[in-house]
């Protein structure tokens, strides 16, 4: 039997009463280092980061957070599973139809930088989830063959997270920022 190096008390599980959150991410925030936001539900703090240029907001997009890849490593203890979960590799996908010259430059610069976090706004829930880990981006321009399809940018944001870190943290959305 393997032993744990540490054990945190398992919190209680809570049943939702006839309410199950839906998907639908319609806006994204890109956090720079030193953003200064302590309370992500506080509109004043979030707007101050926007005004300071340490938070860039992308509105009117379609995005999703699919299941992350599990990162496993060798179990250091015998008599148990050969591997244990060390963390997760996340891939966040965004589709932005706001194609223009200004956004060409925005996404070009996004590709060559690394950022300290990402925020995604769930429009049906009026909530955000925040990741404060190093995030890298891969932005591409897509121009379809057909004149019946829209040009768009495809953006992939990636980050890794240790198993001891929390999921992207849930907050009430700050009023007036991501709508």
- Is the pLDDT at 160 greater than 70? The verdict is yes
- Asked if residue 54 belongs to a domain, the reply is yes
- Asked if residue 120 belongs to a domain, the reply is yes
- Asked if residue 135 belongs to a domain, the reply is yes
91-147 pLDDT, tens digit each: 999 999 999 999 999 999 999 988 999 999 999 999 999 999 999 999 999 999 999
- Is the pLDDT at 3 greater than 70? The verdict is no
Q: Where are the beta strands (DSSP E) in the chain?
A: 25-31, 55-64, 69-74, 83-96, 114-115, 117-122, 127-131, 135-142, 152-162, 169-172
- Asked if residue 179 belongs to a domain, the reply is no
Domain total in the chain: 1
CA neighbor of 21 nearest in space, from 61, 68, 65, 60: 65
- Is the pLDDT at 1 greater than 60? The verdict is no
- Asked if residue 17 belongs to a domain, the reply is no
CA neighbor of 137 nearest in space, from 173, 79, 90, 81: 90
Do the beta carbons of residue 92 and residue 156 sit within 8 Å? yes
Do the beta carbons of residue 174 and residue 130 sit within 8 Å? no
- Asked if residue 16 belongs to a domain, the reply is no
- Asked if residue 177 belongs to a domain, the reply is no
Q: What pLDDT score was predicted for residue 62?
A: 98
Q: What pLDDT score was predicted for residue 176?
A: 97
The residue behind tokens 């190096």 is 5
Q: What pLDDT score was predicted for residue 6?
A: 65
- Asked if residue 2 belongs to a domain, the reply is no
165-177 pLDDT, tens digit each: 989 999 999 999 9
What is each CA distance from 109 to 36, 52, 112, in whole angstroms?
22, 18, 5
- Is the pLDDT at 163 greater than 50? The verdict is yes
Output the pTM of the full model.
Answer: 0.89
Full residue range of the structural domain in which residue 69 is found: 25-74+81-90+98-150+161-172
28-87 pLDDT, tens digit each: 999 999 999 999 999 999 999 999 999 999 999 999 999 999 999 999 988 889 999 999
Q: What pLDDT score was predicted for residue 177?
A: 97
Q: How confident is the model at residue 155 (pLDDT cuts 50, 70, 90)?
A: very high
Q: How confident is the model at residue 9 (pLDDT cuts 50, 70, 90)?
A: confident
Q: How confident is the model at residue 5 (pLDDT cuts 50, 70, 90)?
A: low
């Amino acid at each position: 039997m393997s032993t744990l190096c540490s054990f945190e008390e398992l919190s209680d599980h809570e049943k939702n009463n006839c309410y199950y959150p839906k998907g639908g991410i319609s806006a994204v925030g890109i956090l720079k280092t030193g953003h200064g936001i302590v309370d992500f539900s506080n509109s004043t703090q979030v707007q101050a980061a926007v005004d300071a240029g340490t938070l860039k907001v992308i509105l009117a997009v379609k995005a999703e957070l699919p299941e992350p890849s599990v990162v496993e490593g060798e179990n250091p203890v015998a008599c148990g599973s050969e591997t244990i979960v060390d963390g997760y590799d996340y891939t966040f996908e965004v589709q932005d139809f706001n194609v223009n010259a200004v956004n060409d430059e925005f996404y070009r610069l996004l590709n060559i930088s690394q950022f300290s976090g990402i925020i995604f706004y769930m429009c049906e829930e009026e909530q955000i989830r925040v990741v404060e880990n190093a995030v890298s981006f891969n932005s591409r321009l897509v121009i379809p063959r057909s004149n019946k399809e829209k040009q768009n940018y495809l953006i992939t944001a990636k980050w890794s997270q240790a198993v001891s870190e929390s999921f992207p943290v849930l907050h009430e959305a700050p009023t007036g920022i991501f709508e």
